[in-house]
C-alpha cells in the first residue's frame, strides 16, 4: 500500500495542522500522498489533484464521523478502504486519535487488517432505481409537520405492523450506536449481519426494536395525511408523500475499513461512551 489520499475537514482541522503532520509522516515512510488541490498548499510534499486518483489504495479522513460518512461514497465507488482520524467529539467511526498519528507507520509493515461493513440501500422504487446507500442508518420521520406520523412496516412475506410515532430508524450494525441507540435500541456487534428497526417515540404499547435478517426487504408506507422525510445518514434523501412507500434492504456493495486494532469493539465503545459522559 503506497498511494494514499487524505480527505481533510478544514472546519475540524484548523489550518490543516493535523493533515499537514500526517502528510509529512506518510511521505517520510515512503508513501505517495494525494490531496485536493485546494488543500495542497498546506501539505507541501503532497500531490494536489482535481480528479480523484484512480490508482490510490487508501483514504484517510481527518475529521469527525460526518466526514467519514461523506468520504465513504468515494471508498465504495473506488473499492478501497478508508480510516478516520478523529477530530470530532467522540468519533465512533474514527479509529485514530490525532495525538497518535505514529500508528500509521504500521502501514509500511503491513500491520493492519481490512474489514468490510454492511451498508443499507433505500429507494422509493420497487425496481431499486436511484437507490442511496447508508453507512449508519435510514430514518423515515415526520417532516415539517410536527405531529405524530402514521406508517406501516411490512416484510417480504407480507407481515405488517402499523405505527403511530415520530418515525422509524433502520440501522446497520455499526449504526446501532448512533440514533437508534439514542432512541433506546440495542447495540449490535459489528460482525452481526442484520437490519435493526427502532421506532422513534412510538404512541403504542409496542415500542421495542426488531432485528431482521440481513437478507430481508422491508417496506415503509406512509399511511398518514402528511408528508414524511427520508434521511440517509442524517442527510435528507427525499420526501415520502401520503400512501407512498419506500424500500430498505442490505446493499449489494460494502464499505471497506482499515484498522490497526484487534476486534475490541465493546472495549472501544465503552471508552467512547466514557468520553461522551465527560462532555456533559
pLDDT digits (tens, 9 = 90+) for 176-216: 999 999 999 999 988 899 999 999 999 877 789 999 999 99
Q: What is the mean pLDDT of residues 57-78?
A: 95
Active site residue 65: yes
Among 198, 196, 214, CA closest to 206: 198
The reply to whether 123 and 245 lie within a common domain is yes
DSSP string, 6-53: EEE-TTTSGGGHHHHHHHHHHHHTT-EEEEEGGGGGG-TTSEEESS--
The reply to whether 190 and 103 lie within a common domain is no
Residue 23 and residue 30: Cα distance in Å, rounded? Answer: 11
Residue tagged active-site, from 13, 65, 137, 233: 65
The reply to whether 124 and 230 lie within a common domain is yes
The three grid cell numbers given for residue 29, joined into one nine-digit string: 515512510
Contact 147, 167 (CB under 8 A): no
User: According to DSSP H, which parts of the chain are helical?
Assistant: 17-28, 65-78, 179-182, 265-278
The reply to whether 60 and 167 lie within a common domain is no
Domain of 49, in residue numbers: 3-112+260-278
Say what the pLDDT of residue 279 is. 47
CATH, residue 54: 3.40.50.10330
280 pLDDT higher than 60: no
The reply to whether 69 and 129 lie within a common domain is no
The reply to whether 85 and 166 lie within a common domain is no
pLDDT grade for 270, boundaries at 50, 70 and 90? low
Q: What is the mean pLDDT of residues 146-161?
A: 93
The reply to whether 90 and 185 lie within a common domain is no
The three grid cell numbers given for residue 114, joined into one nine-digit string: 481490512
Say what the pLDDT of residue 161 is. 92
The reply to whether 50 and 67 lie within a common domain is yes
CATH, residue 232: 2.60.200.30
Residue 90 and residue 94: Cα distance in Å, rounded? Answer: 9
| Ranges 120-124, 127-131, 211-215: which has the least confidence | 127-131
89 pLDDT higher than 80: no
Q: How many domains does the chain have?
A: 2
Burial class for 54, CB neighbours closer than 10 Å (0-12, 13-18, 19+) = exposed
The reply to whether 101 and 139 lie within a common domain is no
The reply to whether 128 and 157 lie within a common domain is yes
The reply to whether 103 and 123 lie within a common domain is no
The reply to whether 104 and 160 lie within a common domain is no
Say what the pLDDT of residue 190 is. 85
Amino acid at each position: 500500500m503506497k498511494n494514499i489520499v487524505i480527505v481533510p475537514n478544514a472546519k475540524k482541522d484548523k489550518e490543516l495542522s493535523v493533515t499537514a503532520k500526517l502528510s509529512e509522516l506518510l511521505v517520510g515512510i515512503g508513501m505517495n500522498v494525494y490531496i485536493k488541490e485546494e488543500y495542497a498548499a498546506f501539505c507541501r510534499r503532497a500531490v494536489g489533484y482535481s480528479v480523484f486518483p484512480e490508482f490510490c489504495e487508501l483514504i484517510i479522513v481527518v475529521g469527525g464521523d460526518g466526514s467519514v460518512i461523506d468520504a465513504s461514497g468515494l471508498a465504495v465507488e473506488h473499492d478501497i478502504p478508508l480510516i478516520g482520524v478523529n477530530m470530532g467529539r467522540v468519533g465512533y467511526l474514527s479509529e485514530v486519535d490525532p495525538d497518535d498519528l505514529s500508528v500509521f507507520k504500521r502501514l509500511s509493515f503491513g500491520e493492519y487488517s481490512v474489514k468490510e461493513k454492511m451498508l443499507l440501500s433505500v429507494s422509493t422504487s420497487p425496481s431499486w432505481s436511484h437507490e442511496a446507500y447508508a453507512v449508519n442508518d435510514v430514518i423515515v420521520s415526520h417532516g415539517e409537520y410536527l405531529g405524530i406520523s402514521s406508517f406501516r412496516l411490512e416484510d417480504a412475506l407480507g407481515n405488517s405492523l402499523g405505527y403511530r410515532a415520530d418515525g422509524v430508524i433502520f440501522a446497520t450494525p455499526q449504526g446501532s450506536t448512533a440514533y437508534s441507540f439514542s432512541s433506546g435500541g440495542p447495540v449490535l456487534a459489528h460482525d452481526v449481519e442484520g437490519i435493526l428497526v427502532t421506532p422513534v417515540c412510538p404512541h403504542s404499547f409496542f415500542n421495542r426494536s426488531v432485528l431482521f435478517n440481513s437478507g430481508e426487504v422491508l417496506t415503509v408506507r406512509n399511511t398518514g395525511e402528511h408528508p414524511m422525510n427520508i434521511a440517509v445518514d442524517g442527510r435528507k434523501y427525499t420526501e415520502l408523500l401520503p400512501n407512498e412507500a419506500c424500500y430498505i434492504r442490505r446493499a449489494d456493495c460494502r464499505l471497506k475499513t482499515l484498522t490497526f486494532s484487534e476486534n475490541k469493539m465493546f472495549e472501544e465503545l465503552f471508552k467512547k461512551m466514557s468520553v461522551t459522559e465527560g462532555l456533559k
